[in-house]
């Protein structure tokens, strides 16, 4: 029996694909495991284990064939059919996310957006129509949606999450800086931009202090 694939493995495979499809690498037909490892910041042995799990074999003199790797990753990460996603919150962040995901992955389609601002409802953003939150159950059922992106204020995050889960969504990408308390069957990936930036600033401050201590004038 095949072992289930962990979320960490899926995350790495997604990162491999992002690197391999980088426009700056167009025209590169082969890549070595240590090169891919350096670009993704994991160990070469981890890359080789992941690629072995994909069933791909490398060439000792040229490395792994990029086209074969991308095809193998797609069979694991992607569905055979386009996967519909909804966006809740069409403010500046929501609009930026729509622009990012549009055409980014052919099999990933943002089919509808939702907002509680009447001025935004029934307008088209990046080719996607915005609906009221009351329309959630109808659109989720009609489009067979199982995943949602939340780009709402922290104060509205829990209620928005409750609504999409009640409508039938079981996966959420949460950009709101707030914890979500949801049933166990719902998978949530939270991206807190403020916390991420604070971690970066903390590192830069301490790196600067270390430099001063190590190189006193």
Give every residue of the chain whose pLDDT is below 70, as ranges: 1-3, 23-24, 80, 103-106, 207-217
End-to-end CA distance of the chain: 64
Please tell me the predicted confidence (pLDDT) of residue 114: 97
Distance CA 75, CA 58 (A): 18
What is the value of pTM for the model shown?
Answer: 0.71
Please tell me the predicted confidence (pLDDT) of residue 211: 56
State which fold the 83-195 domain adopts: Rossmann fold (3.40.50)
Q: Domain residues of the chain, as ranges?
A: 7-75, 83-195
Number of Cα atoms under 13 Å in the Cβ half of residue 161: 24
Distance CA 114, CA 123 (A): 10
200: which 2 tokens?
């970066």
Please tell me the predicted confidence (pLDDT) of residue 111: 94
State which fold the 7-75 domain adopts: Arc Repressor Mutant, subunit A (1.10.10)
Please tell me the predicted confidence (pLDDT) of residue 93: 93
Report the b/e string of 157-184 with b at 16+ CB within 10 A: bbebbebbbebebebbbbbbebebebee
């Amino acid at each position: 029996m095949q072992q289930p694939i962990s979320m960490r493995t899926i995350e790495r495979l997604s990162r491999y694909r992002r690197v391999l499809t980088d426009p700056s690498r167009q025209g590169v037909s082969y890549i070595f495991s240590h090169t891919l490892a350096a670009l993704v910041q994991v160990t070469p042995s981890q890359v080789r284990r992941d690629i072995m799990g994909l069933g791909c074999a490398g060439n000792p003199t040229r490395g792994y064939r990029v086209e074969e790797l991308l095809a193998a990753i797609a069979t694991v990460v992607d569905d055979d059919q386009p996967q519909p996603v909804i966006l809740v919150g069409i403010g500046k962040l929501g609009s930026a996310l729509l622009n990012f995901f549009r055409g980014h992955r052919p099999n990933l389609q943002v089919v509808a957006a939702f907002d509680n601002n009447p001025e935004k409802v029934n307008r088209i953003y990046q080719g996607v129509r915005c609906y009221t939150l009351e329309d959630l159950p109808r659109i989720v059922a009609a489009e067979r949606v199982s995943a949602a992106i939340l780009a709402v204020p922290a104060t509205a995050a829990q209620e928005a999450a409750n609504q999409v889960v009640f409508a039938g969504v079981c996966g959420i990408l949460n950009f709101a800086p707030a914890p979500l308390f949801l049933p166990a069957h719902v998978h949530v990936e939270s991206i807190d931009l403020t916390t991420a930036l604070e971690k970066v600033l903390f590192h830069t401050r301490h790196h600067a202090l270390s430099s001063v201590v190590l190189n006193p004038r």
